[in-house]
Structure 1
Amino acid sequence: MAARTRTSVLERGVDGSVVTLSVIPGGLRVITESVPTARSASVGIWVGVGSVDETTKLAGASHYLEHLLFKGTSHRTGHEIAAAIDAVGGELNAFTSHEYTCYYAHVLASSAELAVDIVCDVVLDAVISSPDVDVERQVILEEISMRDDDPEDTLGDAFAAAMFAGHPVAAPVIGSEQSIIDMTRTQIAGYYRRRYSPEKMVVSVAGGVDHADVVKWVRRAFGSRLDPARTADLPRVGRGTARALSGALVVERDIEQAHLSIGVPSGGRNDPDRYATSVLAAALGGGMSSRLFRTIREEHGLAYSCYAATSGYADVGSFSVYAGCQPENLGTVSKLIGLELAAVAERGLETAELARVHGQLAGGMILGLEDTESKMSRIGKNLLVRNEYRSVSDELEAIARVDADQVSALAARLLTQPMTAAVVGPYAAETDLPEQLTSLVQTGGQRRHVG
């Protein structure tokens, strides 16, 4: 018996929206969020290919492909692709991460069929020519130079290299200057043929669309590429062991500010404490009422930007604090960070503070899903990286269940251990850094920082 498409309704919203998933023979997953009141539609193809899949020689190949796939297909030139989207007032774009690549379009709902056809064409039938490879090589080298000129981009790469040393996510998605110079058309085309197959993909569409129509358009676009013998790829498992470096990684730059990221390893994206980690990050540095913002910016005026952040991959993650300040103030800023980390590690969050953070995270999530592009991104990414659908109400309930004891235990575990730091600024070596920072790196938010 021939395999059949399996379709299931995953959620019905109070606003009339419906989330539906179809798994097509061949492993391709199509998920939609139909929103009757939406006048637009967002179409995305999520490919389970990113920089963690690359060898050293192919470092940056996933991002290189992202550039090349818009240059033309067997059916359309690059100009025709752009003109078709422009003609309906739409947008076409893509991005590459460590673990996946996404190609997407945002159009009026009446142009959703066109968008599906174009995005599928770009992803499935790209023509990779030597002249285009050479042109995009220069573009990417300029992009690398631009990132090198941006201290926050440089800091992000340095912090990842220090925090995830020995793990594939430690390397920058864009690759290195040398790997981009050395990469050939044959290597890139081979990488494309090997990696871009339907079982590694999720098609997600959100907006004023009908699920059955979307499945019909997608099946037509994929055609004979759907091999019924194949099944959908499972979410990624671990790609290696990360070993956070001790001390601070210093990148010398002759700039006006010192840029600091300091943090500790945390669990990956499926870590049971991931919601508590988000609550902790929001309380410490998630907005204008957060502890670090109030202390470092509002009370002392030592930084314009100061925040806490989390990252989560298949098997590794981090909790970190960022601050940008005058070099002569880096010591004081480091001391204030240590004081706040110690206070949370020792005493946890106040009841009113926890309630505020719950509301902040819940409200931010709901407001962030007002547009069809955000809806498309949420359903597509979750299905690709977790092979599951979690409703917004499930996410809100998980945040609401985080209590003060859970945050206190997490803070005591995370924030009292030695930390990993990266600094970009006018420092030649770690020995040039202020003592308050090196002390914070060595001991974390331990009691001796208080007072």
Structure 2
Amino acid sequence: MSEPIPLPLDLPELDLEVAGGARFRRSVLPSGVRLITEDVPGAASVSIGCFVPLGSRDEADSEYGSSHFLEHLLFKGTPTRSARDVALAFERVGGDFNAATSREQTVYHARVRDHDLPLAIDVLADMLTSSLIEHDDFETERGVILEEIAMTDDDPIDVLWERFYATHFDEHPLGRPIAGTRESISATKRDGVVEFYRRNYRPDTLVVAIAGRVDHEAAKIRLEAGLRAGGWDLDTPRAPTPRRDATVLARPARERFETLDRPLEQTNLIIGMPGINATDQRRNVNGMLHHILGGGMSSRLFQEVRERRGLVYSVYSFSATHADAGVAGVYAGCLPSKAAEAIRVIRAELERVATDGVTDEEMADARGAGAGAGALALESNVARMHRLARAELVLGEFIDLDGSVARLNAVTADELRSLAQTLVTSGHTIEAIGPLTDEARTELEALR
């Protein structure tokens, strides 16, 4: 199957065979819970993720840091399981479990042998519905999160990326550190986080993605039983929470340039620009462009800046997408004495790809890399699980490997050059940390 599978929120059931013989199934339950599975022939394990479409950008100022706080707190125990019981449930069967918070969602996930999936569903459902968030646990995790923030502040690369996002997005919540700040976490009240939890963790927000050896119907029955046991009302009909508005975020057309002077051995810098949003139809064009520009050891930036001139250890291009905004750019780290020349070469490569486009050979290499990486990713049930969730939460369509390869093959050189021109001429956000010579500063200011 090469055509994308639409995932309308009002379609109760889907059952299809996709590339590689996997079985794709999706159920939108009357309560609004969405279950999406991919049964992979021959798999001996299964990955499950419980996704809540809520992240740091969704928090009011008084709630800032609550999404990430909950990521910690939901492992601390329920009326029927202590924190140790939660950990033992997965570890005694050799499973992996964890959670993660982003700017737009929070996920609680596990990977276990296929016959341990019922256990994983039970524990995750218990955590989602019935976490106690006791006062002592809250204060303990406050300390842990403050340590996590302090660790980030000690890492200049982490500081660089957080400052870059803050500078690029100005006062918009997308620019805030996901974990919060020392000030916001110190001021957070338990009652506020509990209220945030009860208000946002509910049936119509929940998306459960499972990939590996999975019986969809058995998983659905077990999931509903687990959510009911935790007190969730699954009998009242609800529509699933709509996907995020993809209207492109308005961003003032101005240049941004910030430097942080720290006593470091290297100058680390990011030359950023507005990118595409998550549902932009140029997603495959964007992926191919970044592969050619700075996606690996054969890329233009790596070859020119590191291999031929020895100016850096690390240089790459990047692209991050959100529902209504994106960001793209180049990162480099080098000795202060080499920074000015590195910036000149990077700028020349950006201008060259925008003016001259790419070669047929580069396009063929990028197509092969995209197809190969897609196939290799499907060896991982974790990657398949995240692909299912992205299809449901973000894209509104599921695309199998055949469809992805077909879209890669349809990309043209004109599309690549057009996107490069758009990105390079859209205004730069420049962030640097570490020693910055006057010559390097002049080169960066020339980008503005």
**Given residue 123 of structure 2, which amino acid in structure 1 is its aligned partner?**
I
Matches within 5 A, 1:112-191: 112-191=117-196
- Which residue is 2:70 aligned to? 65
Task: Give the unaligned 5+ runs of structure 1.
Answer: 443-451
- Which residue is 1:296 aligned to? 305
**Given residue 64 of structure 2, which amino acid in structure 1 is its aligned partner?**
A
Give, in whole Å, the separation in 2 of the partners of 1:321 and 1:32. 36
Give, in whole Å, the separation in 2 of the partners of 1:378 and 1:81. 26
- Which residue is 2:23 aligned to? 18
TM-score (norm 1): 0.93
- Which residue is 2:256 aligned to? 247
2:288 paired with 1:279: yes
- Pick from 48, 51, 54 the counterpart of residue 49 of structure 1: 54
TM-score (norm 2): 0.93
Per the TM alignment, residue 384 of structure 1 is displaced from its structure 2 partner at its CA by: 1.4
Per the TM alignment, residue 11 of structure 1 is displaced from its structure 2 partner at its CA by: 3.6
2:354 paired with 1:345: yes
- Which residue is 1:226 aligned to? 234
Per the TM alignment, residue 396 of structure 1 is displaced from its structure 2 partner at its CA by: 2.1
2:12 paired with 1:6: yes
Per the TM alignment, residue 239 of structure 1 is displaced from its structure 2 partner at its CA by: 9.3
Contact 2:35 2:220 in 1 (8 A): yes
Give, in whole Å, the separation in 2 of the partners of 1:77 and 1:36. 36
Per the TM alignment, residue 255 of structure 1 is displaced from its structure 2 partner at its CA by: 1.2
SS of the residue 1:267 aligns to: coil
Give, in whole Å, the separation in 2 of the partners of 1:272 and 1:166. 28
- Which residue is 2:7 aligned to? none
Contact 1:44 1:204 in 2 (8 A): yes
**Given residue 308 of structure 1, which amino acid in structure 2 is its aligned partner?**
S
- Which residue is 2:419 aligned to? 410
Matches within 5 A, 1:189-228: 189-223=194-228, 224-228=232-236
Contact 1:19 1:32 in 2 (8 A): yes
2:100 paired with 1:91: no
**1:194-228 C-alpha deviation (Å, 9 max, x unpaired):** 11111111001111111111111111111243243
Per the TM alignment, residue 413 of structure 1 is displaced from its structure 2 partner at its CA by: 2.3
CA RMSD in angstroms, aligned pairs only? 1.8
Give, in whole Å, the separation in 1 of the partners of 2:378 and 2:32. 28
Q: Size of the alignment, in residue pairs? A: 435
- Which residue is 1:359 aligned to? 368
Identity %: 38
SS of the residue 2:398 aligns to: coil
Distance 1:291 1:240, change over 3 A: closer
Give, in whole Å, the separation in 2 of the partners of 1:424 and 1:432. 15
**1:75-133 C-alpha deviation (Å, 9 max, x unpaired):** 10000010111110001100000000000011111101101111111111111111111
**Given residue 13 of structure 1, which amino acid in structure 2 is its aligned partner?**
A
Give, in whole Å, the separation in 2 of the partners of 1:328 and 1:28. 56
Per the TM alignment, residue 145 of structure 1 is displaced from its structure 2 partner at its CA by: 0.7
Contact 1:167 1:242 in 2 (8 A): no
- Which residue is 2:441 aligned to? 434
Give, in whole Å, the separation in 2 of the partners of 1:114 and 1:239. 41
Task: Give the unaligned 5+ runs of structure 2.
Answer: 1-9
Per the TM alignment, residue 162 of structure 1 is displaced from its structure 2 partner at its CA by: 1.6
Give, in whole Å, the separation in 1 of the partners of 2:283 and 2:273. 14
Distance 1:185 1:239, change over 3 A: farther
SS of the residue 1:225 aligns to: coil
List, as ranges, runs of 4+ consecutive aligned residues in structure 1 with deviation greater than 4 Å. 430-433
Contact 2:55 2:103 in 1 (8 A): yes
- Which residue is 2:409 aligned to? 400
Give, in whole Å, the separation in 1 of the partners of 2:321 and 2:426. 19
**1:300-322 C-alpha deviation (Å, 9 max, x unpaired):** 11111111111111111012111
Contact 2:274 2:426 in 1 (8 A): no
